[in-house]
Amino acid sequence: MPSAASPPSPSNPDRLSWSAVIAYGSGGLVPVALFNIAGQLIGLIGNIGLGLSAFWLGVILIIPRLWDAIADPIVGHLSDNLRTRWGRRRPFLLVGGIAVAVSFVFMWWVPKHAGATEEARQWMQLGHILFWLLIFYSATAIFEIPHGALGLEMTSDTNERTRLFSAKSFLGNLFAMGTPWLFALANLEMFKGPGGNEVDGMRYVSMLVAVILIPMSIWWFVSCREPAATSIQERPKSRFWVNMRAACTNRAFLILVGVVFTLAMGFNFVSLLNYYITIFYLYGGDKAAAGPLLGINGTIWAVTGLIAVFPLNWLARRLGKKRTLAIAIVLMISAQLAKIVCYNPEHPYLVIIPTILLSAGMLMFFTLGSSMLGDVCDDAERRTGQRNEGSIYAAYWWFIKMGTAFASFVTGALIVFTHFDEKQSIGIDRLSGRVNEIAAIFKDGRQAEPSEIPALMEKLHAARSAAVDMAAHFTAEAAASAIRHDHCLALAAALDPVIAKLDALTTDPPKNSIRDLQEELRPLSRQAPGVLWRMRLTEIGLPLLLSLFSLVLLWFYPLAEARPPARKLENEL
């Protein structure tokens, strides 16, 4: 049925107006954009910004994802059986959206625990991240499961469902382009301060996100009207385990879940590695230089999603959803193969090519997955006489999120497998921050005031101590790791002139000496070539293999919607 907020088309009573489609589709901000931001940036920034172990970050990221998988069926069942004057789904959109905004802010305010030991600091910071991720993922489930179920029941037309979820995918990806831009913003001095890093910057950037999200939550509650809300008030309530059993014994449902699950895992395993490859392979560890490409890549992703919506709907009407889903998988396979050539430090912007292929394929793939879930609901209703979109949508995401929880652990293990040195990243960041603070005192060629000299001497001492610590770390790593041996010895040797220059600095150092010192620190962020080779091999190979397996599994999907004759399709256009 059409949304109550807008009249149906006279020629097609099941066709939704653009106002209804946009209002619903903008809700993709939460599950597509913020969910990915939390899953990707918290691991990246926790590792390279806070210096937390990639392995333990992967471990703690499993827990909220496991809880999320448990919460989804519960929320789905509750939304199927809630009876209020505002309908079944809308109260969840309001409460969940506001809770997502608040928890997203607190997630990034990780205490520094400066007085604690290194081990105690790490565990306390991991505990903070875990607690707020649990709150955030719970809030996301409260919003997304009723929102997804509402999309399944807004229309009974299978092509309209594709159009509706196309809008959700597109607008969600439009917001998701902010993921890399948020990283770039967090590295701007106006957010992080002269001596801070992306951790400090994300504290304030997250507040900008909340300022946008809270008013949008109120808009969704007001505008996303539920169809047949009055008649549902009289519908008998269903039983939780009966709904779950019906979903998990449906052959079409299980194969659809298997196709989506397999391919999603392939990319979830390595989603974080793309950031590492961009920062440390394409830009040699220069986070500020990598930020614009990450942002532009996100923009290209969103623009491609806008364009891909049109061929998606055209192909789905003519070829059917199953064949169109196969085309989407082939596009993603092509993207992985293109990365072999396009990961090129001399021409870093070549990564736009696989981004275009991957964005088009993913938008088509995940949009069709949700749309095909509506077809599964139709099939279940024909066989059982019952329709519980919330429970089926929740069961679908239960499988996906259980896999995502496992992927969080695998991602951390893969980073450990590559021998990435997070202590190098955080240590060089700290040293560069100390030198930048010294440079700020002598900005524009000015001399240090007498009152500034004690602080200057303290900063010089802190910078020298950081340089000595990093030299000792590189020497120890050279002895411990065969992959990084030569690389770490070279880095340790490169720190000798840095330490010498810090020793030689006076209260009125020449401006060029500080500039030269800053330049000498840039190459020290580069990871070992063997580490970066393993990262590229893993990031390209795993998704490629699982995408091929997903394509084989799709062959056995049993539901095939009838395609209308060509003349009718021409009239619809």
Q: Is 564 inside any structural domain?
A: no
Q: Is 300 inside any structural domain?
A: yes
Residue 513 has pLDDT above 80, yes or no: no
Q: Is 393 inside any structural domain?
A: yes
Q: Which residue has the tokens 């969940």?
A: 96
Residue 428 has pLDDT above 80, yes or no: yes
User: Is residue 354 within 8 Å of residue 342, measured between CB atoms?
Assistant: yes
Q: Which residue has the tokens 């496991």?
A: 66
Q: Is 565 inside any structural domain?
A: no
Residues 6 or more apart from 528 whose CB is under 8 A from it? Answer: 419, 421, 483, 484, 487, 488
Secondary structure percentages of the chain, helix, strand, coil, to 5: 80, 0, 20
Average pLDDT rounded to a whole number, residues 151-162: 77
Q: Collapsing DSSP states into helix, strand and coil, what is residue 389? A: helix
Alpha carbons 180 and 488: distance in angstroms, whole number: 29
Q: Is 5 inside any structural domain?
A: no
Residue 161 has pLDDT above 70, yes or no: yes
Domain membership of residue 138 as a residue range: 26-225+238-420+529-558
Alpha carbons 514 and 509: distance in angstroms, whole number: 7
Kindly report, residue by residue over 478-489, the tens digit of the pLDDT: 888 888 889 899
Residue 178 pLDDT: 62
Q: Say yes or no: 365 and 455 in one domain.
A: no
Residue 18 pLDDT: 80
- Residue of 204, 197, 115, 185 lying closest to 433 (CA atoms): 197
What is the Cα Rg of the chain in Å?
26
Please give the structure tokens belonging to residue 96: 């969940």
Q: Is 571 inside any structural domain?
A: no
Q: Collapsing DSSP states into helix, strand and coil, what is residue 9? A: strand
Q: Say yes or no: 359 and 346 in one domain.
A: yes
Q: Is 13 inside any structural domain?
A: no
Residue 230 pLDDT: 46
Q: Say yes or no: 40 and 161 in one domain.
A: yes
User: Is residue 143 within 8 Å of residue 96, measured between CB atoms?
Assistant: yes
Q: Collapsing DSSP states into helix, strand and coil, what is residue 12? A: strand
Q: Say yes or no: 190 and 319 in one domain.
A: yes
Q: Say yes or no: 394 and 258 in one domain.
A: yes
Least confident of 227-231, 369-373, 525-529: 227-231
Residue 36 pLDDT: 64
Please give the structure tokens belonging to residue 410: 């695998």
Residue 506 has pLDDT above 70, yes or no: no
Alpha carbons 22 and 5: distance in angstroms, whole number: 12
Residue 337 pLDDT: 96
Q: What is the pLDDT confidence band of residue 568, given thresholds at 50, 70 and 90? A: very low
Residue 563 has pLDDT above 50, yes or no: no
Q: Collapsing DSSP states into helix, strand and coil, what is residue 362? A: helix
Q: The domain that contains 257 carries what CATH number?
A: 1.20.1250.20
Residue 571 pLDDT: 40
With a pLDDT cut of 90, the percent of the chain lying above it is 13
Q: Collapsing DSSP states into helix, strand and coil, what is residue 313? A: helix
Residue 460 pLDDT: 83
Q: Say yes or no: 491 and 553 in one domain.
A: no
pLDDT higher at 552 or 402: 552
Q: Say yes or no: 501 and 388 in one domain.
A: no
Residue 345 pLDDT: 92
Residue 365 pLDDT: 87
Chain centroid, CA 563 distance in Å: 35
Residue 387 has pLDDT above 90, yes or no: no
pLDDT higher at 448 or 422: 422
C-alpha distances (whole Å) from 270 to each of 52, 121, 484, 526 are 19, 28, 22, 20
DSSP state of 563: P
Q: Is 103 inside any structural domain?
A: yes
pLDDT higher at 330 or 164: 330
Distance separating the N- and C-terminal Cα atoms of the chain = 21
User: Is residue 436 within 8 Å of residue 196, measured between CB atoms?
Assistant: no
Summary mean pLDDT of the chain: 79
Average pLDDT rounded to a whole number, residues 3-16: 52
Residue 126 has pLDDT above 50, yes or no: yes
Q: Say yes or no: 345 and 275 in one domain.
A: yes
Q: Collapsing DSSP states into helix, strand and coil, what is residue 567? A: helix
Average pLDDT rounded to a whole number, residues 40-45: 73
Q: Say yes or no: 479 and 388 in one domain.
A: no
Q: Say yes or no: 397 and 302 in one domain.
A: yes
Q: Say yes or no: 490 and 537 in one domain.
A: no
User: Is residue 419 within 8 Å of residue 483, measured between CB atoms?
Assistant: yes
Q: Say yes or no: 218 and 329 in one domain.
A: yes
Kindly report, residue by residue over 201-253, the tens digit of the pLDDT: 888 888 888 888 899 888 888 887 776 544 455 555 566 666 667 667 778 88
Q: CB neighbours (10 Å) of residue 85?
A: 8
Average pLDDT rounded to a whole number, residues 13-26: 78
Residue 358 pLDDT: 93
DSSP string, 490-554: HHHHHHHHHHHHHHH--SS--HHHHHHHHHHHGGGGPPPHHHHHHHHHHHHHHHHHHHHHHHHHH
Structural domain total, the chain: 2
* Number of separate helices (H) and strands (E) present in the chain: 23, 0
- Residue of 1, 214, 222 lying closest to 90 (CA atoms): 222
